[in-house]
Amino acid sequence: MCMNIQVDPGGAAPTVRERILHTAHELFYRDGVRATGIDRVIAESGVAKVTFYRHFPSKNELIRAYLATRHEHWMGWFTEALARHGGGPGAIVPVVEEWFRDERYRGCAFINSVGELGGVLPDVLEIARSHKQDMTTAIAAVLPKSRQRAKIAQAVALSIDGAIVRAQFDSSPDVALSALDRIVKSLLKA
């Protein structure tokens, strides 16, 4: 299973903050940030309201922490998966396929958050831009060295974003993956 967010990787009991963040991550990613109220996060994480607000003074603070945690874990998974699939340009589509076929796949948390909150919480736009830049850098690292490497990485990243959106509304990710494969191969020939 890909990109499983662990709150207690060392086997230790999670802190209260980690438990809240884990609960928020599961709910925000599955159901949406706007659709998930603070009361639901409090109830499902099993903390008192006062305890919650001690760790996260506002929902906006929780959203920022959720996206920071998501970024850290997703990028860790992404770079590890690229290496596990060979570490070259041929790893890109299999890694994206691994993600798309995960039963918990609900698209890109950053694209989804921008769609929900981009006009209301400008920090989300900056966080998403930074995430996408880091993703593009990871893609560039597996591409052959050339003068066009950065531009090809940007085009591949944009193609992945398009495939992410397409895979969300199709009954199967097959069409998105097939198109992504064709695009990546054509970019590498250029």
What CATH number is attached to the domain comprising 89? 1.10.357
Would you say residue 140 lies in a domain? yes
Average pLDDT over residues 158-179: 96
- Is the pLDDT at 3 greater than 80? The verdict is no
Please count the structural domains in the chain: 1
131 lies in a domain?
A: yes
| pLDDT-derived band at 163, boundaries 50, 70, 90 | very high
* Residue 135 domain flag: yes
Q: What does pTM read for this prediction?
A: 0.91
Q: Provide CB contacts within 8 A for 159, sequence distance 6+.
A: 180, 183, 184, 187
Express each pLDDT in 169-189 by its tens digit: 898 999 999 999 999 999 998
Look up the domain containing 150 and give its range.
59-189
Q: With respect to residue 19, please indicate whether it lies within any of the assigned structural domains.
A: no
Domain contains 41: no
